[in-house]
Amino acid sequence: MDVVEVRERARALREQCARVVVGQGRVIDLMLVALLADGHVLLEGVPGTAKTLLARVFAAGLNLQWRRIQFTPDLMPGDVLGTNLFDFNANRFVLTPGPIFTQVLLADEINRAPPKTQAALLEAMQERSVTLDGKTHSLGGAFFVVATQNPIEQEGTYPLPEAQLDRFLLKVVVGYPARDDERALVRAHGRSASPPPLATLGLSAVADEAWLGQARQVVGALTVADEVVDYAVDLARATREQPSLLCGASPRAAAMLTAAARAVAVLGGRDYVTPDDLKAVAVPVLAHRLVLAPAAELEGLTAESVLTRLIETVAAPR
C-alpha cells in the first residue's frame, strides 16, 4: 500500500461521511487525521450538531464494531470496563466485558462522569488494553475513542483533568453548518423526529481493519525533514515562554503534532511533511493541552487565540 491508495480510500470514506453528516467537512477531515495517526478525538459542540451520527458513520464506513457509553454522574468504572464474575459451573472467574470492548467507542458527554470513571479510560486509550484483577485484556489495534462534551451546559459536569485531555490527539470544536448546508440537512433528514437508521442511508464499508493497520504504517513511515521537526519543537517550546499561559505544550505534544501532520500530508497525497501540515493541525492538537494564566482568562483570552497568535510569530522553515 502507498500514499496514493491511502488517500483515495480515505477520500471515499470522507465522501460517504459528508453525504450523511452535511456541512461538517472540517470535522470529518480532522477525524480522518486522528484515525490515520492512531489517536483519539474529543468533539466539543452543542447538542444537535451530529457528533453521535458522525461516529456511527465512521464505524460503518470502516466496517468496525461500534458501541456507545452515555456518561452520567452515577456511572461507575465497572460499568465501562466490565467485571470478573465467578462461574460456579466452571469453578473459576469469567470476564463479563463492558462496553469498552469494542473498536469504535463513543464516550458521550464524557465530562458528566466523575473523575474515577473518566480515569477508567486512561489505560484503554494509551495502551489499547484493560486490566481487571491483575489480568490485562487487549482491545485490539483498531480501538478508537470519539468522546463528546457540551460547551454550554456546565451544571453537574466534571472538567476533564489534564492527564485525560492529553490522551486525545485532537480536540475539535463542532460548530453550526453554513446556511446552504443546513438547508440541505433539513431536506435530507427532516422527514421524522427520530434519527434515520443507518441501513436507510445507503452506507457501505469502504475500508476495513486490515486497511486501517496498513494505512497507519504508511503514515508512520513518512519522511519528516529535520527543519520540520525543528519547527514542531519550536512551536511547543514557544508556548512555554508565553506569559499568558500557565502551562505550555509538553515534549509529547510536539511529537503528537508531528504525528498528526504526517496524516495531513498523506491525506494531501504527499509522502513528506511540510510546515503548513503542522500549522493545519496545531490548534486542535495543542490548544487543549495548554493552561491559561488567570490574568489571561480575565482578559477574555482563550488557549486557541493565544496559540493562533503564537503560530504567526514563530518563524517557519522555507
Stretch 61-84: mean pLDDT, rounded? 89
Identify the sign of the CA torsion 102, 285, 28, 161: positive
pLDDT at 97: 87
Contact predicate 278/257, CB 8 Å: yes
| Rounded Cα–Cα distance for residues 312 and 318 (Å) | 14
CATH 1.10.3720.10 assigned to 222-313:
no
Contact predicate 315/238, CB 8 Å: no
87 pLDDT higher than 80: no
Residue 52, H or E segment: helix 51-61
41-50 tens-digit pLDDT? 999 988 888 8
20-37 tens-digit pLDDT? 888 889 999 999 999 999
Structural fold of domain 3-206 = Rossmann fold (3.40.50)
Q: How confident is the model at residue 155 (pLDDT cuts 50, 70, 90)?
A: low
| Rounded Cα–Cα distance for residues 82 and 97 (Å) | 4
157 pLDDT higher than 80: no
Angle at 29 (CA atoms; ends 4, 26), nearest 5 degrees: 140
150 pLDDT higher than 90: no
Q: At which residue does the C-alpha cell 487543549 appear?
A: 288
Q: Give the DSSP letter of residue 212.
A: H
Contact predicate 151/200, CB 8 Å: no
93-117 tens-digit pLDDT? 777 888 999 999 999 999 888 888 8
- Where are the chain's structural domains? 3-206, 222-313
pLDDT at 95: 76
Question: Dihedrals φ, ψ of 259, to 5°?
Answer: -60, -45
DSSP string of 246-280, one letter each residue: EE---HHHHHHHHHHHHHHHHHTT-SB--HHHHHH
pLDDT at 273: 95
Q: Cα dist. 70→60, 73, 105 in Å?
A: 20, 10, 11
Contact partners, residue 41, CB within 8 Å, separation at least 6: 30, 31, 34, 145, 146, 147, 168, 169, 170, 171, 172
